Amino acid sequence: MELGCLLNHIRQRRGSFSLGSLLSMCQDVSEGMEHLEANGFIHRDLAANCLVNEALVVKVSDFGMARLLLDDQYTSSSGSKFPVKWSPPEVFNFCKFSSKSDVWSFGVLMWEMSWRPAFRSSKFRHIYGKAATKHHGYCGVPITTSVHDNHHCSVNPCFIAVVTECSGGGAFLVLSVHHTGRVDPQHPRVCGHSATVLDVKWNPFDDHCIASCSEDCTVS
């Protein structure tokens, strides 16, 4: 497969592929995955593991994590490695793989292939978006410097939560994504911890529900 990794090949030639070419390559991957499913196998690591030749024919590769299905699903042992950005919720929660989890991975692969240079990517590989203008940003938010490698903020379609500097720690701001600009220094904070907040996450099924964890070993 002369052109190597599919996603690298597409990214190196952004904008040079027609919609028909991209759909054809997606079809090649889907046919390869269909062949695996018809023979009772799941791939579990589709991700970027596809190779492309000079004729733009794509082949699924890297079957190191592939497994034979006996009861329509495969349950991996706790702590096993898996491609995080391409895995569905049942893999995170129960370590259960099936042909449906391969379909999820294929959907993520299609989304990556449809990436357009009009959108700027962040330093994190799985995050894409338009660069925000000053008019659409927030000003005066005292973002914490204690979070280190964890998440300073979390956003959903309605709100953005930002871990802030606060005497004694344990607080974060919740701001509407529709009301940008300067933030009032007296804007109410969400408090529920006695130590620094380490991470915040929105409920994916409820835009008004958020969880936070802290150095005080509690989750709220």
- Give the Cα-Cα-Cα angle 70, 72, 75 (nearest 5 degrees): 80
DSSP letter at 85? G
Residue 197 corresponds to which tokens in the numbers above? 């907040």
Minimal CA–CA distance to 202: which of 130, 168, 151? 151
Count of beta carbons in the 10 Å neighbourhood of residue 172: 23
- Give the Cα-Cα-Cα angle 92, 111, 27 (nearest 5 degrees): 105
Q: Can 45 be counted among the known catalytic residues? A: yes
Q: Which of 45, 149, 206, 216 is catalytic?
A: 45
Q: Which residues pair with 214 in a beta bridge?
A: 197
3-state SS, residue 181: strand
Please report the sign of the dihedral spanned by the C-alpha atoms of residue 60, residue 7, residue 92, residue 82: positive
**Which residues are catalytic, by number?**
45
